[in-house]
């Protein structure tokens, strides 16, 4: 009868030790991946909030710089203000239904008719906020604002959005916390209230030489792990118009962009 040969192998204890070591390594790898992924998501969300704000500011800046523009020999009769700012936080021309200021910009354009003759035109662009229609995974509406843009064309004395060169309100971006416009004169002094054809500053409609714009956007997801700062206090936000400080207890990141835009065409007749 042949004797059994001695075969080398591993014991049950060695197998269990190997499994434990593998689990520890996998847990460490998962923790590292989670940390890196969370950090990447935060950086990406911050970049999106910042880039979104800067893109919108660039768009508004280009339109504000067109305010009051007219081609030579353009004689279209139009009583609209080149820049009209509607406040959201009090004032004689405040909007009661908005958390953000509105701005309306009027400028001239030109095209050619079938005979090749130049035809002068007038356009009106409006930026305004409304409650966002974005919902969370549970179907609840997220509490934030959205910026919209509308372009109208003057046709036979009436502003229209259904003709060539115009369009109805279009969503620009969501996750907006605040949007303000402050008109200033040639000396850099704030014109308050913002001049319109119907308020006490109606004679200053063509005195606006710059518009101070402030825009605050926020991250779409929770950015912080808790509501407190490192010193144990609640995070704070500042009102861009009054510089007052307000404590908050949410987890979002907020990015504020401020820009002063020269209205180079207003007042040129």
Convert 89-106 into a string of H (helix), E (strand) and C (coil): CCCCCECCCCCCCEEEEE
Q: What's the pLDDT score for residue 94?
A: 41
Q: How many other C-beta atoms can be found within 10 angstroms of the C-beta atom of residue 34?
A: 10
Rounded to whole angstroms, how far apart are CA atoms 124 and 128? 13
Cβ atoms 102, 93 nearer than 8 A: no
Q: How many other C-beta atoms can be found within 10 angstroms of the C-beta atom of residue 42?
A: 17
Read off the tokens for 201: 């500053």
Q: What's the pLDDT score for residue 179?
A: 92
Per residue in 64-119, pLDDT tens? 999 999 888 888 876 789 999 999 864 444 444 457 899 999 999 988 888 888 88
Burial classification of residue 113, based on how many CB atoms lie within 10 Å of its CB (0-12 exposed, 13-18 middle, 19 or more buried): exposed
64: closest CA among 192, 171, 184? 184
50: closest CA among 173, 183, 210, 188? 173
Task: Collapse the DSSP code of 20 into the 3-class scheme (helix H, G, I; strand E, B; otherwise coil) and give the result.
Answer: helix
Q: What's the pLDDT score for residue 82?
A: 94
Maximum separation of any 2 CA atoms in the chain, in Å: 120
Read off the tokens for 162: 């259904």
Q: What's the pLDDT score for residue 37?
A: 66
Kindly write down the DSSP assignment for every residue of 48-79, as one continuous string: HHHHHHHHHHHHHHHHHHHTT---TT------
Rounded to whole angstroms, how far apart are CA atoms 23 and 177? 45
Kindly write down the DSSP assignment for every residue of 200-236, as one continuous string: TTGGGTT---EEEEEEEEE-SS--SSSSB-TTSSBEE
Cβ atoms 163, 122 nearer than 8 A: no
Rounded to whole angstroms, how far apart are CA atoms 237 and 84? 28
Q: How many other C-beta atoms can be found within 10 angstroms of the C-beta atom of residue 176?
A: 23
pTM (predicted TM-score) = 0.77
Taking 70 as the pLDDT cut, the residues of the chain under it are 1-9, 35-42, 78, 89-98, 137, 238-243, 245, 268-269
DSSP state letter for 144: -
The domain ranges of the chain are: 14-262
């Amino acid at each position: 009868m042949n004797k059994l040969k001695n075969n080398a192998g591993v014991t049950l204890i060695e197998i269990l030790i190997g499994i434990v070591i593998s689990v520890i390594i996998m847990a460490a790898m998962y923790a590292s991946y989670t940390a890196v992924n969370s950090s990447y998501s935060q950086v990406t969300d911050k970049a999106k909030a910042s880039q979104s704000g800067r893109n919108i500011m660039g768009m508004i800046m280009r339109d504000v710089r067109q305010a009051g523009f007219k081609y030579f020999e353009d004689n279209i009769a139009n009583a609209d203000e080149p820049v009209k700012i509607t406040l959201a936080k009090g004032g004689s021309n405040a909007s009661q239904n908005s958390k953000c200021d509105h701005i309306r910009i009027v400028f001239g354009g030109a095209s050619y008719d079938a005979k090749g003759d130049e035809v002068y035109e007038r356009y009106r662009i409006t930026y305004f906020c409304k409650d966002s229609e974005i919902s969370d995974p549970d179907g609840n509406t997220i509490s934030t604002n959205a910026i919209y843009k509308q372009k109208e064309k003057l046709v036979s004395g009436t502003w229209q959005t259904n003709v060539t060169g115009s369009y109805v309100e279009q969503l620009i971006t969501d996750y907006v916390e605040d949007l303000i416009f402050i008109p200033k004169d040639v000396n850099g002094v704030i014109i308050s209230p913002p001049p319109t054809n119907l308020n006490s500053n109606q004679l200053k409609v063509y005195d606006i030489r710059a518009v101070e714009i402030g825009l605050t956007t926020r991250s779409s997801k929770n950015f912080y792990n808790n509501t407190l700062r490192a010193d144990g206090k609640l995070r704070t936000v500042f009102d861009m118009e009054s510089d007052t400080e307000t404590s908050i207890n949410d987890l979002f990141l907020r990015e504020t962009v401020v820009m002063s835009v020269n209205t180079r065409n207003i007042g040129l007749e």
